[in-house]
Amino acid sequence: MKFLAMRLLAVFLITLLVGTNQLLAQKNPEEKFGWELGSQAYTFNRFTFLEALDKIDSCGLKYVEGFPGQTIGGDIEGKMDFKMEPAKREQLLKKLKEKGIKIVAFGVINANNDEDWEKLFQFAQAMGIQNITSEPKETDLPLLSRLCDKYKINIAIHDHPNPSHYWNPDIVIAAMKGQSARIGACADIGHWVRSGLDPVECLKKLEGHIKGLHLKDLNEKSKTAHDVPWGTGVSNIQGVLDELRRQNFKGVISAEYEYNWLNNAPEVTLSAKNLREMVKKMK
């Protein structure tokens, strides 16, 4: 009788585990591809970092990319800064854990000298950050290559629109040549569209080097375009997702919604919902 009871308990627990995993797969289907869907805190830059975490949670997202200079908020004084003292880092990690959100990237940020670059990597390591999103000077890349390998942390080169230095993926590819494999690209989809580039073709050029994305959909193909919920604009979000899947990309996808600043959480929520509906139909 005892053996039968144990078997029944085991079957129940397995059934419960399978059911829970299936529920999570339906809620966050992007995880089956290894995609960490979250938000750049810059989306909510009119608020404190802790307020941004609450908004990110309300959007159904569990990952955040921090940005330098944002007021932390709550009972933690100061701003998001890679030079913050260890005690404050611990406070911040505790808040993240309480809110059930993981910080996976930080940027866009550059350092002014070798010492500060090392401090930035040390901060990232202490916080469990996997990507430092940056637009570094090309002359800094050999140093960053060594730091990437030393700390096992990626530099994700970000693209702002033309005429910023890294606006075209061809420039990023040339800059990465001969450097650590941990130096790659943070693909800002919307900025490529603003520069008149096809985001899917840009992703193809960067195959094997994409460390993360700032995902945007725009209302039109122009430098003055603004964000709209994913799948409703001109950025070919479905094509972007299909290409990421073809490349077997795994990593950070951050919503960076730079419009309707004071009340854009509903649009980010809709973006995540639309993306997940697309993903459910993908194999």
25 and 121 part of one domain: no
Q: What are phi and psi of 108, to 5 degrees?
A: -80, 130
- Same domain, yes or no: 156 and 196: yes
Query: Residue type at 255?
Result: A
> Do 145 and 269 fall within a single domain?
yes
Whether 224 shows a pLDDT value over 80: the answer reads yes
Q: Are 27 and 46 in a shared domain?
A: no
Q: Which pLDDT value is given to residue 12?
A: 55
Q: Do residues 100 and 182 both lie within one domain?
A: yes
Helix pair angle (265-280, 49-58), 10° resolution: 40
Residue 95 and residue 4 in one domain? no
Q: Are 43 and 73 within one domain?
A: yes
- The domain spanning residue 163 has which CATH number? 3.20.20.150
- Mean pLDDT computed over 51-67: 98
Q: Which of 204, 145, 139 is nearest to 169 (CA)?
A: 204
Both 162 and 245 in one domain: the answer is yes
| Under 8 Å between Cβ of 49 and 25 | no
Local structure of 102: helix, strand or coil: strand
Q: What is the DSSP letter of 49?
A: H
| pLDDT above 60 (res 278) | yes
Does one domain contain both 9 and 64? Answer: no
Q: Are strands 76-79 and 71-73 parallel, antiparallel or unpaired?
A: antiparallel
pLDDT tens column, 177-218: 999 999 999 999 999 999 999 999 999 999 999 999 999 999
Dist CA 51 CA 278 (whole Å): 29
Looking at the 3D structure of the chain, how many domains does it have?
Answer: 2
- Res 41: pLDDT: 98
pLDDT-derived band of residue 24, with 50, 70 and 90 as boundaries? very low
d(CA 19, CA 40): 31
pLDDT digits (tens, 9 = 90+) for 79-126: 999 999 999 999 999 999 999 999 999 999 999 999 999 999 999 999
First to last CA, the chain: 45
Give yes or no: residues 70 and 3 share one domain.
Answer: no
Percent of the chain with pLDDT over 70: 91
Reply yes or no on whether the pLDDT at 244 is more than 70: yes
Q: Are residues 101 and 64 in the same domain?
A: yes
Same domain, 9 and 68: no
Check pLDDT > 50 for residue 240: yes
Nearest to 47 by CA among 58, 55, 39: 55
Q: 3-state DSSP call for residue 76?
A: strand
pLDDT at residue 9 is higher than 70? no
Q: DSSP assignment, residue 99?
A: H
Q: Could you write out the DSSP letters of every residue in 116-135?
A: HHHHHHHHHHHHT--EEEE-
Burial 184-215, CB ≥16 within 10 A → b, else e: bbbbbbbbbbbbebebbebbeebeebbbbbbb
Q: What is the pLDDT of residue 72?
A: 98
Domain that holds residue 256: 35-280
Calculate the average pLDDT of the chain: 94
pLDDT at 10: 52
Q: What is the pLDDT of residue 11?
A: 53
CB 49 within 8 A of CB 73: yes
* % of the chain with per-residue pLDDT over 90: 90
